[in-house]
């Protein structure tokens, strides 16, 4: 999965840069496909790859988590 994300990132970045630097009749389309590839393929795949196997409740500000943070801060003092 990591290598697929890298390949798609490099392909999208290459498409954006080639559309920007080369004066072609379809350079705006290259830039558009590169940006669309980043936001529709690379970022969601990267987010899924990084969040796989993690519990979302650990990162939410619930009453229990706020109490844990307060206890931790009080124990440091």
C-alpha separations of 58 from 25, 54, 64 in Å: 50, 8, 10
pLDDT at 7 over 70: yes
Tens-digit pLDDT profile for residues 22-39: 989 999 999 999 999 999
Query: Is residue 21 very low, low, confident or very high in pLDDT (cuts 50, 70, 90)?
Result: very high
Measured between its terminal Cα atoms, the distance across the chain in Å is 44
C-beta of residue 2 within 8 angstroms of C-beta of residue 49: yes
C-beta of residue 20 within 8 angstroms of C-beta of residue 27: yes
Phi, psi values for residue 53, rounded to 5°: 85, 5
Say which DSSP state 60 is in. S
Query: Is residue 77 very low, low, confident or very high in pLDDT (cuts 50, 70, 90)?
Result: low
Tens-digit pLDDT profile for residues 46-67: 999 988 888 877 778 888 888 8
């Amino acid at each position: 999965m990591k290598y697929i994300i890298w390949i798609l990132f490099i392909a999208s970045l290459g498409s954006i840069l080639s559309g920007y630097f080369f004066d072609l009749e379809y350079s705006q389309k290259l830039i558009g496909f590169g940006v669309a590839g980043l936001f529709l393929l690379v970022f969601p795949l990267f987010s899924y790859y990084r969040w796989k196997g993690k519990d979302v409740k650990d990162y939410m500000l619930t009453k229990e988590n706020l109490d844990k943070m307060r206890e931790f801060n009080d124990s440091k003092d």
